[in-house]
Structure 1
C-alpha cells in the first residue's frame, strides 16, 4: 500500500482528568510525515513527546483532533482494529526494550510474524539477528544479554515485519555511549535499507540532528518544526 503521507495529525489534543481539574498534556498539534522520511520529536520532560508518539502509533486515542496512519483514520477504530493495523504496518523500539523474559532472543524476534499467523519464520529472524551482530546469542534469554544486546534484539524484532513506519521512544536512553552509537548506526542503516519512515522521541539532540526533520515540543504544544540541512 502506498500513500504520500504515512502519518497525518490534525489538531491532536489529549486531556486527562486530574484530581480537581482537567490537565491538557497535548494541545492542538498538527503535522504530516511523508513515506520514507525521518523525524525526531524533542523537548523537555513533560512536554508531551511520549504522549504524542503513543497517539501516532494508535496505542491511545486523542481527546480531540484527527489522526491517520497509512491512510486509515484511527479515531473511530476499535482497539482490536488499531492493534491489527499496528501489526501490519508499524514497528516499535522502546527505551526499556520490552522483550519477553520467557522467550529466547530468536523467539522474541519471531513473535510479530507469528502474530500474523505466518509460519517458518525462524530463518528470517536468524538473518536479522545476524544483521545486528547477535549470531552467537540467538538462544540466550533477555536476562543473559547486556542492555546493548537486548536493544539489538528489539531492533531485529521491530524490522522483521518490514514496517512502513517505525516508532522509537528514546532508543538509546538506557545505553552507554558505545552501545548507543552502535544502536544508532543500526537504526538508521536498517531504516535506509527497508525505506521505513522513522519517528523517534529523544532527549539526545545529536541523535535528533541525524533525522531529516525535528519537531520541538514545549508544554504540550508544537513550537518549532525544523528541516535539518
Structure 2
C-alpha cells in the first residue's frame, strides 16, 4: 500500500528567550493511503506542532516530510498552500466556522474557491450526510457545538481530500456528542477513502484507528499497529 505521508527523522526547535526549546526530536513514521492514524500524548508533547509540520503549515529544522508524493522541503509557502488546497482537509477543536456565513455557505467555501459550479448542491448533500439538512440556513451562533463540528466535518470533506488532519476534533464536546462526531468522522473517512490523521489525548479514540504513535517530550515513546 502506497504512503500518503512519510515523516523521516523530523526535528523542530523554537527559540524561547535565550534558550532553544526542542519540541520534536527525530520523529519517523508513515501513513498509508486510506489509513487512520492517531498521534497521542500529554499536553506539551509536540502533537499539534507535529500535525502542523505534516500539513505544511510550518517548516522543519531537520528531517523530511513527504505529503502526497511531494517533499514539503522542496516547496515554498505558495507551493505548500496549493498542495493543501488540492489534497488536504482540516478539522479543529474550535470548529473555525465563519460566523457571518450560514452552515451551507461555510461548507461550500472550499468548493467555490476551486470554481466548482454545482457547489451549493454538493454542500447540501454533505450537510444531509452529517444530519443537518434542515439546518443549512442557520448561522454558527444558532447551532450547538456538536452541530458546528458536523458543519466543519462537511466542509473538511467537501474537496474530497486525500488526507484529513483532525486536531482534538471532540475536545470541546461532551462525551455523548463527541462519540457521535467520532463515528461520523470515521464513516465519512471510509466512504471517501481518505487517510485520517488525528491528534488527540483521548486513548479510546486512538484505539479506533489503524495505527498510533505516542509522543512524550517530542520523541516517539510507543508505536501501536
Classify the TM-score, shorter chain: over 0.9
Asked whether 1:196 is paired with 2:186, we answer no
Offset, 1:77: 1.2
Equivalent residue for 2:72, pick from 71, 74, 84: 74
Q: How does 1:105-184 map to 2 (within 5 A)?
A: 105-184=103-182
1:224 positional shift: 1.1
TM-score w.r.t. length of structure 2 = 0.98
Comparing 76-85 with 87-96, greater Cα deviation is found at 76-85
Secondary structure of 1:96's aligned partner: coil
**Could you say what secondary structure the match of 2:74 adopts?**
coil
Q: Which of residues 86, 89, 92 is equivalent to 1:91?
A: 89
Structure 2 segments unaligned to the other structure (5+ residues): none
Aligned to 2:216: 218
Deviations along 1:28-56, one digit per CA (max 9) or x if unpaired, are 10111111111000000000000000000
Determine helix, strand or coil for the equivalent of 2:73.
coil
SS at 2:161 equivalent: coil
Residue matched to 1:60: 58
Residue 150 of structure 1, CA deviation: 0.3
State how far apart, in whole Å, the 1-side matches of 2:160 and 2:83 are.
Answer: 14
Q: Which residue in 1 is equivalent to 2:36?
A: 38
Q: Distance in 2 between matches of 1:99 and 1:78?
A: 27
Q: Report how far residue 117 of structure 1 moved.
A: 2.2
Alpha-carbon distance in 1 for matches of 2:144, 2:137: 14
Rounded to whole Å, the distance in 2 between the matches of 1:212 and 1:57 is 20
Could you list the per-position Cα deviations for residues 147-196 of structure 1 after superposition, in whole angstroms to 9, with x for gaps in the alignment? 00000000000011111101000000000112101101100111111111
Using the TM superposition, give the Cα deviation of residue 119 of structure 1 relative to its aligned residue in structure 2, in angstroms: 2.1
Structure 1: 4+ residue segments shifted above 4 A: none
Alpha-carbon deviation of 1:76? 2.7
In structure 2, how many angstroms separate the alpha carbons of the residues matched to 1:54 and 1:149?
A: 25
Cα distance in 2 for residues equivalent to 1:99 and 1:149:
11
- For normalisation by structure 1, the TM-score amounts to 0.96
Q: For 1:136, what is the secondary structure of its paired residue? A: helix
Higher percent of residues as helix: 2
Count matched residues. 225
SS in 2 for 1:75: helix
Q: Match of 2:23? A: 25
